[in-house]
Chains A and B, each alone.
Chain A
């Protein structure tokens, strides 16, 4: 079957991740886990152990949404690239128009500073 390399890849990645987790359990020295400096606040003021669930900037969400959109754009490019020799000039130019429309959005995003991090 042609998906055998993917299965091998999955098995290897599973094994590797399990090994990495287990090695850190094996070799972590348990005596030095709880000395008081390790639990005190960092120099920058963050607590070392805290709840991961805290509010954060909406901008991360915006970056994620913009990532999805360009992700889909690249996804549309794959079949186009494969069958470019069959669809002729018309298919070529329809993709160019598609890219131009999305480039308008990209220019808007750039000018608006949606990806700037102040």
Chain B
């Protein structure tokens, strides 16, 4: 419970700092901190594999992409001159709606202030099936993903293929006048039989 409070409070504070930080790079760093704390929360839930995926994918890759975008945008320090209160009505209404929805979803037992449906909230139950045979996350995923849901698995590979090809097509711009080194061509030249002019033209095809 203490760990939960630590992780969730640090996550909340740093997610506020993502928005409020003046330097965009600092807000990306706070974003990474949010992900670290969220993966701590996932570990507390018992989802160890997903915590690892969170760190590997989000911190290792997505945060790097965010850093690239921030660096490319060429913003030195974000200008927060404008009045924050201007956006308060719209943002506040959206936040209130979100909070209400969360209150509807969450079981009333979790919030001690709200009137609870059951008076016996201290009763806990034990999942006895878990005591007999417990599978880790990895085994559960592995048993289902590659056989029962193999179509979704292959579709995900196709999505990754599309992402790969799309990224290459979007960013590749081959400039033709760049001199490239062709190692094999250089190696097969027989220098004894060539004149100097031929040597120059043969070793440099362009």
Contact = CB atoms under 8 A, between A and B. Distances in A.
A38 interface: no
Contacts, number: 135
B100 interface: no
Interface residues of B, number: 45
Given A65-B65, A73-B157, A95-B146, 7 more contacts: A61-B65, A67-B61, A68-B57, A82-B139, A86-B143, A87-B147, A94-B154
Interface stretch (A16-24, A25-33, A105-113): A105-113
Nearest to B136: A82
Q: Interface residue tally of chain A, by bracket?
A: 35 or more
Contacts of A102: 157, 160-161, 164
A73 B160 contact: yes
B68 A61 contact: yes
Given A79-B145, A82-B138, A114 B160 contact: no
A30 B74 CA distance: 33
Interface of B: 43, 48-49, 53, 56-57, 60-62, 64-65, 68, 71-72, 74-76, 136, 138-139, 141-143, 145-147, 150, 153-154, 156-158, 160-161, 163-165, 167-168, 171-172, 174-175, 178, 180
15 contacts: A53-B74, A65-B65, A81-B142, A82-B136, A82-B142, A83-B138, A83-B143, A91-B142, A91-B147, A94-B154, A98-B154, A105-B161, A108-B165, A109-B168, A118-B178
B171 A75 contact: no
A114 to B, nearest CB: 5
A118 to B, nearest CB: 5
B140 to A, nearest CB: 8
Given A82-B138, A104-B161, A72 B71 contact: no
Contacts of A51: 76
A56 interface: yes
Give the secondary structure class of A's interface. Answer: helix
Contacts of A72: 57, 160
A88 interface: yes
Nearest to B73: A53
Contacts of B180: 118
B56 to A, nearest CB: 6
Contacts of B153: 76, 94, 98
Given A64-B68, A78-B138, A105-B165, A98 B56 contact: no
Interface string A46-58: 0000011101101
